[in-house]
Copies of this chain bind each other. A is one copy, B any other.
Amino acid sequence: MKELARPAATKMLLVVLDGLGGLPVPELNGRTELEAAATPNLDALAKRSSLGLAHPVLPGIAPGSSAGHLALFGYDPLRYVIGRGVLEALGIGFDLHPGDVAVRANFATVQDTRNGPVVTDRRAGRPPTEHTRSICRRLQDAIPEIDGVRVFIEPVKEHRFVIVLRGEGLDDRVADTDPQREGMPPLQPQPLAEEARRTAMLAGTLVQRIAELVRDEPRTNFALLRGFSRRPRLDPFPERYRARAGAVAVYPMYRGLASLVGMDLLPVAGDTLADEIASLKENWPEYDYFFLHVKGTDSRGEDGDWAGKIKIIEEFDAQLPAILDLNPDALVITGDHSTPATYAAHSWHPVPFLLYSRWVLPDRDAPGFGEHACARGVLGQFPLLYTMNLLLANAGRLGKFSA
């Protein structure tokens, strides 16, 4: 791709309706959320677009948010895996440097027994976030560094927090300390490679110091660590595709993922879709590629709230004319994975995919934008990983391959 990509005065737009794909809802007469939503603008666009179903990873595989977005940005999610620690750090907007080791941590309850300490509650009774925030502040003040390595301790939500280690020669190949079952002793952070010996020792010291500092807490008296990880080394998006790339997203995790691949984060005034579109408009002249992220579809899907998901889709449809007014040369509207409201979780179903440009073979007979129409679409079924190929090609930004 890097060899074929060439600059051009064209605009590409990727709209991600997070968790877009759905399944038949009995109350909707067997239609899916997307099929049941009143979407006159999407339906009209569908007839002038190519439709298809795209697989974020592989058939049958339900992806996490990072895997779906990596695919959308053209990075193979089977090759680049983002660790839990990194994802959690991105989720709170932490500015991870290359080389930093990020760890997802949980406050837990540990009790002493004849056989030593055992974990009695892996989530310390889900403490209020405010409580976690105040302990993290106390820990951060007490442990600014260990052995020359900077330590960041940041609260997330309820029992969850993030630890980031920053210094020379760190390595993320360290095993989880969470025993995964209650009644078991917490594990030591074991190095999984010779080069990770020092990081594992630092982590061991850190766990001990935290334990001393919280030992008098009634429930949050221990910390379990998981998902030691570093930012993956990715070819920066703007160089790879020779396109200035701007991301319009409200949620920290998606901003983090965009910044991880090297996109610029565009300021958004508020957290509504209208705010996002205003940001898109304002920055339109400055970039070649835009990533616009809409979170609500996934959140409502995960809640099992099909009516709420429909409402978000309809809100998006109402704003679609404003997006089309920008006149993108190549436009994709899709999801990073499916989150059917009936399933109430990320699922493995391929996502509805709409590609619009002046160079598409249109699905002129499509009844609208929906899962069944996409299943019969002219794009067929394909890996979501090819999204960038399609955007670049349709925007006239890809040279011919081979002679």
- Residues of A with Cβ closer than 8 Å to B? 4, 23-24, 30, 32, 53, 57-67, 77, 81-84, 86-88, 227, 340, 343, 346-349, 359-362, 364, 371-372, 375-382, 386, 388-394, 398, 400-403
10 contacting pairs across A/B (C-beta < 8 A): A57-B401, A57-B402, A60-B391, A62-B393, A63-B401, A64-B400, A81-B402, A83-B403, A87-B403, A349-B361
* Chain B residues whose C-beta falls within 8 Å of the C-beta of A88 in the assembled complex: 403
Q: Whole-angstrom distance between the alpha carbons of A380 and B379 in the complex?
A: 10
Chain B neighbourhood of A53, CB < 8 A: 378, 380
How distant is A106 from chain B, measured CB to nearest CB, in Å? 15
Asked if A400 and B59 make an inter-chain contact with CB atoms under 8 angstroms apart, the answer reads: no
* In contact, A84 and B403 (Cβ under 8 angstroms): yes
Please determine whether B348 and A62 come into contact, CB atoms closer than 8 angstroms.
no
Closest to A377 in B: B375
A347 to B83, CA, bound (A): 38
Q: Given A24-B361, A348-B393, are A403 and B59 neighbors across the interface (CB < 8 Å)?
A: no
Rounded to whole angstroms, the CA-CA distance of A392 and B60 in the bound complex is 8
Enumerate chain B residues within 8 angstroms of A32, measured Cβ to Cβ.
Answer: 361
Q: How far is the CA of A381 from the CA of B362 in the complex (A)?
A: 16
Please determine whether A62 and B403 come into contact, CB atoms closer than 8 angstroms: no
Do A359 and B61 touch across chains, with their CB atoms under 8 A apart? no
Please report the C-alpha to C-alpha distance between residue A83 and residue B246 in the assembled complex, in whole angstroms.
36
Most buried by B among A227, A388, A389, A402: A402
Known: A62-B400, A66-B403. 20 other contacts (CB 8 A): A23-B360, A30-B362, A58-B386, A59-B386, A59-B390, A60-B390, A62-B393, A62-B398, A62-B401, A64-B400, A66-B402, A67-B401, A77-B402, A81-B402, A347-B359, A348-B389, A361-B371, A375-B378, A375-B380, A381-B382
Beta-carbon contact of B24 and A60 below 8 Å? no
**Top-10 shortest CB links A-B:** A60-B389, A380-B381, A375-B378, A60-B393, A67-B402, A87-B403, A59-B386, A348-B393, A64-B402, A64-B403
| A64 vs B401: C-alpha distance when bound (angstroms) | 6
Given A380-B380, A380-B381: A61 touches B401 (CB 8 Å cut-off) = yes
Q: Select from chain B the residue with minimum beta-carbon distance to A337.
A: B400
Q: How far is the CB of A252 from chain B (nearest CB, A)?
A: 14
Q: Which residues of chain B have C-beta atoms less than 8 A from A398's C-beta? A: 60-62, 348
- Chain B residue contacts of A343, Cβ below 8 A: 359
Residues of chain B within 8 A (CB-CB) of A359 are 23, 340, 343, 347, 349
Q: What CA separation (Å) do A61 and B389 show in the bound complex?
A: 7
**In whole angstroms, how far apart are the Cα atoms of A246 and B107 in the complex?**
43
- Distance of A364 from chain B, by nearest CB (Å): 7
Q: Which B residues are in CB contact (< 8 Å) with A376?
A: 376
Q: A372-B361, A380-B381 are in contact. Are A402 and B82 (CB under 8 A)?
A: yes
**Chain B residues near A227 (CB, 8 Å)?**
403
A317 to B105, CA, bound (A): 54
How many whole Å from A19's CB to the nearest CB in chain B?
12
Residues of chain B contacted by A390 (CB below 8 angstroms): 59-60
Q: Which of chain B's residues have a CB closer than 8 A to the CB of A84?
A: 403
